[in-house]
Amino acid sequence: MKKEVLFIGAGISALTGAALLAKKGFKVTVVESQFKPGGSCGIFKRDDIIFEQGAAMIYGFGKIGFNPHRFVFNALEEPIDIIKHDYLYAIHFNGHKIIFYEDINKFVEQLGKIFPSEKDNFKRFYDDSADLYLKVIANQPTFTTPDVVTKEQGLMQLKSAPKAYLKFLGYMNKNTEHILKKYFKSKEVFDFFDKLTSTYCYTTVEETPAILSAVMFVDNHFGGSYYPAGSTLNLVGKLEKVIEENGGDMIYNRDVKKILVKDDKVYGVKLDNGEIINCERVVNSGNVWNLYNNLIDKSLCKKSREWANLLIPTYPSLVLFALVKDEVIPKDTLPIEMLIGDTEKIDEGEVTLYILSKDDYTLCPRGYQTVMAIGPSFKEWINPKGDYHTEKYFEQKQAEKNRILGLLEKRFPGFKNAATHVELSTPATLQRLVMKEKGAVAGPKQQLGQHMLKRLKTKGEIEGLYNCGESTVMGTGTPAVTVSGISAANLILRECKMQEYEAKYLTGDYVTIVKKPYTGKNLKLSPDETEDKIGKLSMKCQYCMSPKCEKACQKHVPIRDINRRLSVGNFYGARKILNQFDQNPCINCENTSCQEACIRNKFAESVNIKEINSNLVKK
């Protein structure tokens, strides 16, 4: 079978690129090794409790500035409800709780009180940074990576603010420390900025390219911090919805083993089951190491393979998930907070907390809070391709779980006793489940020497090969990888002589900021009453990794995959699955074994599988 564009992986970057191309009429196929979309952005459930599994610091939904997520949903004409946090986040630094106010002047005033000797310098620094940001980024918003920008686009940006733009480009090969030295002298201030660059791109100010920090230090003060109402399932699920509604195919539980090349041109991919999918264009969204060491034949791209294997990855990470009684979380705790261990270096005491149930009441019952804690791990971990079920591995995992719980206990006394559920993802888990090389959550470090144009390009060196994701020019963070997906789509559109996605062509606004705390009370999945009802019934599904209900179903209906789609209003995709059967297998089914096997029976009523699927009639 022949497809126009095939995407390897279903992370945010690939879903973005695939949705944009599908919207333009391309025949799109997305192949994902896991059973669901999103990569490191998505959820899992434990007894109805929703846990974010990774990327949950969502920026880019603002009305001004660098807002690629809003741009994408407006381009796709896909409505989405978003929660806006009151504050960006907070950092606990040297005994101070520093709140990142959206009001940049209020933020600077706060810093002046904490670092009184540098008060005027903070104002000067942020005034200059804001001025540069507004002239270069906000004035002419573009969502194309530098390697894909045309001469005309670059010239237009230059003409809009020539002095500011040239100053901005002058930062390309300078580090952040070089810029900060023009303003500050205090070592403590440099330590503080180290923590900011560490939060955004896992680097110190010495490593971080100034061209990145010039944007990231001020961008979020203009754009704000957000969370998809009801969880990030609604972010990735809606991108999948657009792909399927526009004729695209999502293939799950299949691993692409090889990108097939003949006469220096891509002609398809080979899957782990031996199946070959023919296509003229392949977009790789996985990491650079998997691309050159596994997907491309060893006889090709030898220099690029050598280059890729010299790239330094971001440090490995651990992620702890907990459900805790609300009483131990102070009322003034923000949904996102960063705890600092050693203020003078990045160490294992540096943990970022996500307590998103503070703003979204649909994640867990009242009286409790969900906590995700992510931080670095500098220990050697067992190879996930080997036997990671060894006693040594579990001992190491338990020790790390206790260590992070100890850090949380310091911030929230009584946390350990108040926790009713705790589990940990190790670097080995992250590599095994979401293809994070040795647990490096952001791919290659965005450090000077391997930043921006020195990373993987959107256009591959083999004809028909393209790239997006964390290893590419932008990399690091959901807004950046979203831009990489936009760039891949726009480059393909450009080569096909079709109109690219640009802000000037968008007219409607499909992003709705909902009130906090979000309760889901007014949620409407469909104007059709039956669809709305079964969509809400499907939200009770636990989206199990190994669904017992499916094993019990005599007709082998992919129940979990249907429910996941219905939960975000993707009725077309859910029907597409059922339509693979000659007739709806649930309408006349008298067997209740699927509902009896439902894991939800352990703590509540089972998901009403028959009612959901029997009402999901063809349209």
Which of 3.30.9.10, 3.40.50.620, 1.10.1060.10, 3.40.50.720 is the CATH number of 529-614?
1.10.1060.10
The yes-or-no verdict on residue 141 having pLDDT over 80 is no
The yes-or-no verdict on residue 104 having pLDDT over 70 is yes
The yes-or-no verdict on residue 385 having pLDDT over 70 is no
Q: Which of 106-120, 377-391, 573-587 is least confident?
A: 377-391
pLDDT at 76: 98
The yes-or-no verdict on residue 475 having pLDDT over 80 is no
The yes-or-no verdict on residue 311 having pLDDT over 70 is yes
CB 468 within 8 A of CB 12: no
Q: For CATH 1.10.1060.10, list the domain ranges present in the chain.
A: 529-614
Q: Give the pLDDT confidence of 405-447 residue by residue, as tens digits.
A: 999 999 999 999 999 999 999 988 888 888 788 888 888 998 9
Candidates 254, 243, 229, 251; CA nearest to 573 is 243
Mean pLDDT, range 87-116, rounded to an integer = 96
Q: Give the pLDDT confidence of 545-565 residue by residue, as tens digits.
A: 999 999 999 899 999 999 999
The yes-or-no verdict on residue 129 having pLDDT over 70 is yes
Q: What is the DSSP letter of 519?
A: -
The yes-or-no verdict on residue 384 having pLDDT over 60 is no
Q: Which fold has domain 2-82+230-311+441-505?
A: FAD/NAD(P)-binding domain (3.50.50)
Mean pLDDT, range 136-152, rounded to an integer = 83
Mean pLDDT, range 472-496, rounded to an integer = 92
pLDDT at 339: 95
Percent of the chain with pLDDT over 70: 98
DSSP string, 488-501: HHHHHHHHTT-PPP
**Tally of CA atoms within 13 A in the half-sphere of 69 that contains its CB:** 29
Q: For CATH 3.50.50.60, list the domain ranges present in the chain.
A: 2-82+230-311+441-505
Does 127 or 383 have the greater pLDDT score? 127
In 389-429, DSSP assigns E strands to 419-425
Do β-strands 2-8 and 28-31 pair in parallel, antiparallel, or remain unpaired?
Answer: parallel
DSSP string, 577-602: HHTTSSS-TTSS----HHHHH-GGGG
Q: Is 371 exposed, middle or buried (0-12, 13-18, 19+ CB in 10 A)?
A: buried
Mean pLDDT, range 560-572, rounded to an integer = 98
pLDDT at 599: 97
CA distance 443 to 224: 25
DSSP string, 525-590: S-SSHHHHHHHHHHTT----SS-HHHHH-TT---HHHHHHHHTTT-HHHHHHHHTTSSS-TTSS--
pLDDT at 1: 40
Q: What does each C-alpha distance from 168 to 162, 177, 178 come to in angstroms? A: 10, 15, 14
| Type of residue found at 564 | R
Work out the pLDDT band at 402, boundaries 50, 70, 90.
very high
CB 355 within 8 A of CB 371: yes
Q: Which of 73-82, 145-154, 201-210, 524-533 is least confident?
A: 145-154
Q: What's the sign of the alpha-carbon dihedral 94, 98, 100, 103?
A: negative
CA angle 160, 164, 166 (to 5 degrees): 95
Q: Give the pLDDT confidence of 493-538 residue by residue, as tens digits.
A: 999 999 999 988 898 999 999 999 999 999 999 999 999 999 999 9
